Structures are given as C-alpha cells and as structure tokens.
Structure 1
Amino acid sequence: MALHVVSSLAELPAEQWDALLPEPQPFLRHAFLSALELSGSLGEGSGWAAEHLVYIDGGRLLAAMPAYRKHHSYGEYVFDHGWADACHRAGIAYYPKLLCAVPFSPVCGPRLLMAEPVAGLELLRAIPGYLEVEGLSSAHVNFTQPGLDALIGAEADWLERIGCQFHWHNRSYRDFQDFLDALASRKRKQMRKEREQVAGQGIDFDWREGHQLSEAEWDFVYACYANTYHVRGQRPYLTRAFFSLLAERMPQAIRVVLARQAGRPVAMAFSLLDGDSLYGRYWGCLAEFDRLHFETCFYQGIEQAIAAGLKRFDAGAQGEHKLVRGFDPVITHSWHYLAHPGLRAAVAEFLQQEHAGVLAYAEDARAALPYRQP
C-alpha cells in the first residue's frame, strides 16, 4: 500500500488535508494541528512527536490518521498509566507508543480521515505491521465516533474502552431563563444564587471572536491558562505562540469570554466553535472569586450556545460538578492495540470489568440530573 509517515503537517497541503474532514469540527483542521506543531507545543522535549499516517496514491491524499509517537501518557485523557506501570514491573517496554488523537483535548470526533473507504481500511490494517517495524508497543485511538467504532471493532485484537463525559444539550431553549425553568426548583434556585454571587462582586462578561483580541489580551488569556497549571506545580502544555497562530489561522472558530471587575480582566474561558457545538477548552483566573469558575466556564457557555442556536456545549473532561448544572452523561469510546499477547489478555480482562462499571456510573448519573421530572 501507499503508506507514508509525515513528521510535520506543513509537508501536506492544507486544502488536501481539510478535504478529508467529514465535518467542520475545528480540532482536526490543518490550521489547528499545524499550529500545535509550529508553536512548539509539540515536538522536542514535549514527549509528543508528530507521526501522521497517510495513504497517498498518485500524489493524491486518500486517507490520513493524525498520530503521535508518545514517550509518556500525559495530555491524553484516556488514562493508561496503570498499563505502563504493569509493563515496567514485568520488564516490558511500554514506551514509545503510537497515539491517534487530538493532543491535549478530550474531544470526540473523526480519527480515520478518508476520501475513499478502501484507502482508510488499508491504512487501519497497516498499523499492526507498522508497530512491529518501528518497535512500538501499542497503538491507541482515542475519543472516536460510531463510524470508526464499527470499522475498527471488526478488526482482530483491537480492544474497546469506554469512558464518561458530561455535555450540555440545547433542548430548543429560548434563553437562559427558559433553561432554568426546565430544572427542579431547588437546582434552579442554586444556579440563580451562584450567578447572583458573581454579579454581586461587580463582575461582568465580554465575549470576543478570535480576531477581536489584541496581542496584549492574548497575553492575558495565556497567563490565565498557564496559571491553572502553575498552581498545581505543572508545566502548561501549550505555548504562548499557539494562541497567536490559531487566532491568525482560524479566528472565526475562536470564542473567548473575558470576566471583568471594574473594567479590569480577572479571568477568561477559551472555546472553539463549529456548526452546531461549542467546545469549552481552557480557563483561568489570576485571583480568587467566589463561584467565578462555574459562571465563566459553564453558565456563560450555556448562554452563548442558546444565543447562537447551537445544539451542544462540550465543556471538557471530568465533571460531576457539571452533572448538577444540567450536563448529561455521554459515553466515549477509545480503541487500543497492544502488541504483547500477555499484556493484551490482561488489559482485555480489566476492560471487561471497567466497561460494566462505567455503564453503571453513567446510569446513576442520569438519575441525578437536575431536570424536572415529567
């Protein structure tokens, strides 16, 4: 087959890559992924090396998988640290491994991009052999969609793993009050109280598109983003240059809400937008304010989604605190090919038990949603 490995998206024409995308989601666009590479957010010293798998025939790009050679398991949000630890104890090398995902963002979407299904299937089936040739322990395809789930599930030795996120869905609400009216009385009062506490601190909010922020304001956005890592003693994944590159290349997809007190910015939330969904990605503040996180990250996003007529607001990973604010549990899927037969068998047994637990958790979560019962 015409399998090629590309170490930088700059090697591929943006129009050919974007032509493979089956939907307008921003995270797989050439502009987004190449901004990660060109800004130094990926590459030397990061533990992420671009290793995109592409199928090219006659100079035409027919299929592609955005992939990375990983030397750790950070920034993935499908946690396999336990598998790596087990390999270490058994004397098996777990790193490097191959990851097909959007770096640093647990967003579901297409992972096998293809103009022709035959080329996509050939690319998928080439992965086990590629791992063997390259000395990679495993391949991981995170946060997939049903079409790929069906395709990859029919292949031998791939293991499915499920998880649970929380997404807000717009049930044709006219405005935020209409959303509140759909909630049980106690939850409705709690949300009103939280919003009143923020307003009582003299904080208001200003929504911007990507082209409407100055470089000084992007400096503030980055300082807030980086601070969420610094307070935990961690290094931020993204560089300052990433935000300017993205604002230059795809400003129409960017939404930033600035929280201001007495005209001075004190916090921000950074989101991306596609045809029907808002994706809340990064947040940060430079001082502590009561309930500001909930307002900036959740209620502002819900208001924005309603005003724009969007169907869904995906506010990121984790989140029982999202559940009580009307975010529904959503099952996510990932797929894992582990070359070592013993490791594969052990992980398969673990995933079978985990699968039942995740489904039970999601069912319990649905029972805790704040909506009024019919």
Structure 2
Amino acid sequence: MYFQFITSITDIDRDQWNRIAGTDYPFTRFEFLAALESSGATNAESGWQPLHLLAKTDDDELLGLVPLYIKTHSYGEYVFDWAWADAYHRNGIQYYPKLLTAIPYTPATGPRFCFSDDLAEPHQLELQVEMTKTIKEQAQKIGASSWHCLFPEYPHAQRLEEAGFALRQGCQFHWYNRDFTSFDDFLATFNSRKRKNLKKERQKVHAQNVQLIRCEGRDISREHWQKFYEFYQLTYLKRSGHDGYLTGDFFETLGRTMPEHLMMVQAFADDKLVAAALCFKSSTHLFGRYWGCREEFDSLHFEACYYQGIEYAIEHGIQCFDPGAQGEHKIQRGFTPTATWSSHWLADERFDNAVRDFLQREQPGVEQYMIETAELLPFKQE
C-alpha cells in the first residue's frame, strides 16, 4: 500500500473517486468538488489549494481518500480560528499555510475519511490511523502550522481524538422528521401560541401574492440558474460587501452534473422570479445552502428557506433538514440544537496545549447553550 497527494481532483478518475466517496452525500462527490475547482473557488489563488490524499494498493486500487486543502486564510470554513491565527502572529510565527479537511464553504456534517466498501471496519480503522500519520508528516514537510478536520461525523472525530487531536464542539439547529404526514401534523407538536405565530408568518407571504414553487434539479432551467446567481450576489453584497465566494458557472455546472441532488425553492411575484433558495439532498438529509432575493417581502426568507424545506422533507420521507450554520431564529420554528464537531492538531506543542486548554474551557459553555436553547423550542411539553 502507498499514499499519494494530488493537487487537482482531475488527477483521478471520477468513477474511482465516487466509488470510495460514495454518491449519496452530495458534498464529497467528484462532481461537487470538481465544480468548485473548475470555477476557480478552490485553487492557490483563492487560498484553497487542493491536496487530496489517496490510499492505494500496490496494484493501484483505491482503498481510501481524504479531501484536503492547503489554506492561506480562514475564510469559508465556519469553524472560527481567527484568534489562534492572531496569537501566532503576535508571537512572530506564521499560522498560514495550514491543512484543512473540510468541504469548502459548506458547514454540513458528513464523511471526511472515505473508504472502500471492500475494507472491513477493523481495516478501515487501521487505514485511518495511517492516513492521519501521513497527513501530519505532510504538514510538517510543507511547513503547515496545523491540520483541522471540520464537521466530520462523530465516530471519525472520536478516532482523531484518540490519535491526539483536540476535539471542538459546536452547535447548529436541525429539523428532525418524527414520521410526520403533513406540515399540519408537524405544527400539531407546537404549543398553541407558537403554532399561531408560525401560521401568521406563512399567511403574510400568501397575502403579498407571492407564489412558491419547488423545482427539482433536472427542471431548473439555465434562466433559473442565471436569476438565482443574480439573487445570490445581491444578497452577499447586502450582508458582506462582496459578491460571494462562488460563481454562476459553479451553480450551472452542478445543474448539469448532479441535478439529482438539487432542489430549488422559487418565489414568484407578478409572474416574475424574485427570490430563490437552493437545497442539496441525500437519501436521508436535506441541506439548505444558498438564498438570494431581488426584492424584500415580509417573512419570505423563512418561508423559502425553512417551511418549504420542511414540507419537502415530509413529502419525501427525509429524516433531517440541516438549514445551515448559525441562526437562533430557527429555534422557534422547530429546529433543534444539534452538536457539531471539529478536530484540531497544531504542530507547535506550546500552541497546541493553549488551544486544548481553550477548548476544554469552551465546551461547558457550548453544552449549556444547547440546553438553554432547547428550552426555547416551540413544542408542547411532554
């Protein structure tokens, strides 16, 4: 067996990659990562240089892989380490480059170490240990300060902790399907006051003569993509002062290469498309990812980004709806505090110890925050 680092996902055959990464979780698919790369979102100039790790047999059979990037900044990650970078800078040490195992611009929990189905679980565990050692060695070879794995599934995070990584807990708000038969069935779990508030919110959208349509990936036209990208840029400009990390080519490429993972909520006023929310989906999860609008309508963001997604999940038997990072306003709409995880290794022992101490002190606060926000959920007392 040997290990190979590749600086472009196009250095490997698509079917080989997808055989290991799988084709259900959309964000580790070859098509998704290739679209990021071809559109310029992940390259050396953007600060996201691919350095994916492959594990192969001596006969060149692919056994495992890890998405990996050389980062020269901390944008687009959603697990914040700016204070760590500042501490390095104040001590005259370079924090960047660093190594990052994550899905660029995508705070969605999922597989980060991917293995062949032909490998039994004990061999997968052994291979993860070897891959971890190999990436640490590569970090030291290229002078990277650290290696971070963001939003892994908890078992992989545990294994990294056993390998010497510091474990960090975060919190997002996810919706869970309790075998609901309709949106009204879901609302029946709310207490009376919160149920009335949510119904009023949905009625506001209807009263403004806004019509919502859920459009599956294969039915999203090129004109729809162009309008969606216009909305995406406008919304980023309002919130952040720039026009977003992603390009129109990125979205249109996904529409061609992986439409089965896409669902777009489209809002029309006077027969004109005025807003849209783009979701990704697997067999078990719906992921709310991007939103944009040309005009502001009262409560339309909540309808397009949350309620339409919940309805879609119920109709299609999807177990979990992850609407994205942050947002305490999701709690009163039935989204439950959910733990997320990240794993961190810093080559400099002094800083590694300092970060571990910080994370140990941070975790009780995160856990208490999850308890307190859970008490604000709108559900009836059981």
**TM-score of the superposed pair, with normalisation by structure 1:** 0.97
Unpaired segments of 5 or more residues in structure 1? none
What does the per-residue CA deviation read over 1:60-99, in whole Å, with 9 as the maximum and x for residues that have no partner? 1111110111110000000000100111111110001010
Cα distance in 2, alignment partners of residues 203 and 138 from structure 1: 49
Name the amino acid aligned to 2:207: G
| Conserved 8 A contact 2:236-2:243 | yes
Cα distance in 2, alignment partners of residues 20 and 355 from structure 1: 33
What does the per-residue CA deviation read over 1:87-135, in whole Å, with 9 as the maximum and x for residues that have no partner? 1111110001010000001000110112241333211121221111111
| Conserved 8 A contact 2:305-2:323 | yes
Cα distance in 2, alignment partners of residues 362 and 250 from structure 1: 35
| Conserved 8 A contact 1:62-1:120 | no
**Alpha-carbon RMSD:** 1.2
Q: Hey, what does 1:59 align to over in structure 2?
A: 60
| Conserved 8 A contact 2:218-2:259 | yes
- Between the two proteins, what is the percent identity of the paired residues? 42
Of 301, 309, 312, which residue of structure 2 is paired with 1:304? 312
Q: Hey, what does 2:138 align to over in structure 1?
A: 130
Matched, 1:33 2:40: no
Residue 162 to residue 23, structure 1, CA distance change in 2 (3 Å)? farther
What does the per-residue CA deviation read over 1:156-206, in whole Å, with 9 as the maximum and x for residues that have no partner? 2x1110100000001111111111111011110110010011110000111
Q: Hey, what does 2:77 align to over in structure 1?
A: 76
Q: Hey, what does 1:364 align to over in structure 2?
A: 372
Matched, 1:139 2:147: yes
1:302 positional shift = 0.6
What does the per-residue CA deviation read over 1:292-341, in whole Å, with 9 as the maximum and x for residues that have no partner? 11111011111111111111110000011011100000001100110011
Matched, 1:193 2:200: yes
1:22 positional shift = 5.7
Cα distance in 1, alignment partners of residues 72 and 280 from structure 2: 28
Cα distance in 2, alignment partners of residues 4 and 194 from structure 1: 53
Q: Hey, what does 2:257 align to over in structure 1?
A: 249
Q: Hey, what does 1:350 align to over in structure 2?
A: 358
What does the per-residue CA deviation read over 1:234-283, in whole Å, with 9 as the maximum and x for residues that have no partner? 24111111111111111111100100012111100000111011111000
Q: Hey, what does 1:159 align to over in structure 2?
A: 166
1:1-374 equivalence runs, <5 A: 2-21=2-21, 24-57=24-57, 58-115=59-116, 116=119, 117=124, 118-156=126-164, 158-231=165-238, 232-374=240-382
Question: How many residues of Structure 1 are paired with residues of Structure 2 in the alignment?
Answer: 373
| Conserved 8 A contact 1:283-1:297 | yes
Unpaired segments of 5 or more residues in structure 2? none
1:44 positional shift = 4.1
| Conserved 8 A contact 2:43-2:50 | yes
Residue 101 to residue 276, structure 1, CA distance change in 2 (3 Å)? same
1:53 positional shift = 1.2
Structure 1 segments of 4+ aligned residues over 3 angstroms from their partners? none
| Conserved 8 A contact 2:21-2:65 | no
Name the amino acid aligned to 2:329: H
1:41 positional shift = 1.7
